Amino acid sequence: MTSLKSKDLQHYVNEIFTIDNFKSKMGRDEDVSVLAFEVTDQEPAKDLMNFIEKGYASVLDADISTGENNRGKYNVFVELERNRRLPEHIQKILDDVTKLTGIEEWKYRYYKDVESKPFTEESVIPTDKDSYNTFIETFKQDELDRFFNKGATDQKYISDNRIEFKRYASGNVVMEVVDEDTTENITNKYTGISLLDEDSVSEMLWLTKFFGNYNIYKIDENLFFTNGVRTKVLKRI
């Protein structure tokens, strides 16, 4: 890699990055924080990866995605130890990458939150194992309750990717989470034909009575629940 100069990566890097939206390769998520920068092309992504990996003692690892993401871009992943200096270490990286990109105002999305917020050293992000686990558990339950807000079910995660739904006088249903994303991304990703055989239609009618007025359809063994701009792909257990 040739030495990067000021604004060599201008117009290549998105000003919105994510924190803790991807899993760590270097350790447990509660111990390692993962940043992800989105870059338009593979070569600039490699340049950014090398710049970050070689420039900071706080960086445990840097890597790029093996292919394009669902937006046709490349992700650059940066892994940092989760400790009280994490916001400071992130800010230092951003300050230096600003010189390469010209981006003055960075925004971040935490975990699976769709809202972007300006990043500063005072941004509230988990800096230890306990605060991380508490945040993730609370976020997942709040998001689950917001999504399934059209019916009379109570729902909770019983493991990392399994949800138990209960409805008074109707029993319970356990589902495995296969995928979740914007409705547009899910529609583009799963291109099979919705099943309309008698058994599948009967199952959709029963699920609508149990869950409420969602757009529910089935492709193979996957059940698609749509609420506005978000869709969850579930499988009955």
Backbone angles phi, psi at 223, to 5 degrees: -105, 130
For residue 94, being part of any structural domain is answered with: yes
**Cα–Cα distance, 147 to 143 (Å, whole number):** 6
206 and 174 in a single domain? The answer is yes
Q: Is the pLDDT of residue 79 over 50?
A: yes
For residue 230, being part of any structural domain is answered with: yes
For residue 57, being part of any structural domain is answered with: yes
Contacts of 69 (CB under 8 A, 6+ apart): 38, 75
At 196 the pLDDT is 86
Q: Provide the token pair at 127.
A: 């800096």
Query: Inter-axis angle of helices 86-101 and 42-55, to 10 degrees?
Result: 130
CB 149 within 8 A of CB 155: no
CB 55 within 8 A of CB 13: no
Paired residues of 107 in beta bridges: 16, 118
Average pLDDT over residues 40-62: 96
For residue 133, being part of any structural domain is answered with: no
Q: pTM for this structure?
A: 0.80
For residue 153, being part of any structural domain is answered with: yes
108 and 191 in a single domain? The answer is no
Sheet containing 154-159: which strands, arranged edge to edge? 154-159, 162-167, 171-182, 230-236, 222-227, 215-219
33 and 95 in a single domain? The answer is yes
For residue 39, being part of any structural domain is answered with: yes
Average pLDDT over residues 93-97: 97
97 and 164 in a single domain? The answer is no
Domain range holding 213? Answer: 148-236
36 and 107 in a single domain? The answer is yes
- Number of domains observed in the structure of the chain: 2
Place of tokens 């919105």: 16
Average pLDDT over residues 207-229: 92
* pLDDT band at residue 112 using 50, 70 and 90 as cut-offs: confident
pLDDT tens digit string along 12-47?
999 999 999 999 999 999 999 999 999 999 999 999
For residue 11, being part of any structural domain is answered with: no
For residue 185, being part of any structural domain is answered with: yes
Q: What is the CATH number of the domain that holds 89?
A: 3.30.70
What is the DSSP code (8-state) at residue 10?
A: T
Average pLDDT along the chain: 94
**Cα–Cα distance, 25 to 12 (Å, whole number):** 25
pLDDT tens digit string along 166-215?
999 889 999 999 999 889 989 989 988 888 889 889 999 999 999 998 99
Q: Is the pLDDT of residue 1 over 90?
A: no
224 and 153 in a single domain? The answer is yes
Place of tokens 């050293």: 121
Boundary of a domain, candidates 92, 127, 162: 127
